[in-house]
Amino acid sequence: MVLLVKIKCPYCGFEGEASEFLYMYEVTLYVVNSRVEREERERPLLVICPKCREGFFLDNPYKCFYSKL
């Protein structure tokens, strides 16, 4: 998949393709009857800058975009 969205880091100003950034998605797992169930709640996607390693959240336009991944 090719991502053409440009993202700018609010900390160091690094700007690059969405695919250059790292992503961390916080998910809580529940163990139900020895099976792991994923939490249904929506959580924000944390974007990590490849240059300064600071994490930040994307604004709304991007949030909609990434929820489809």
Q: Which residues contact Zn ion by CB under 5 A? A: 9, 11-12, 14, 49, 51-52
Smaller CB distance to Zn ion: residue 49 or 58? Answer: 49
State the minimum distance, in angstroms, from the CB of residue 60 to Zn ion.
Answer: 21
State the minimum distance, in angstroms, from the CB of residue 12 to Zn ion.
Answer: 3
Q: Which residue has the tokens 């393709």?
A: 17
Smaller CB distance to Zn ion: residue 39 or 50? Answer: 50
Smaller CB distance to Zn ion: residue 14 or 66? Answer: 14
All residues at 6 or more sequence positions from 42 whose CB lies less than 8 Å from its CB, including other chains = 67
Quote the strand ranges of 1-69, DSSP E: 6-8, 15-17, 22-25, 29-32, 35-38, 45-48, 55-57
State the minimum distance, in angstroms, from the CB of residue 5 to Zn ion.
Answer: 16
**Count of other CB atoms within 10 angstroms of residue 49:** 21
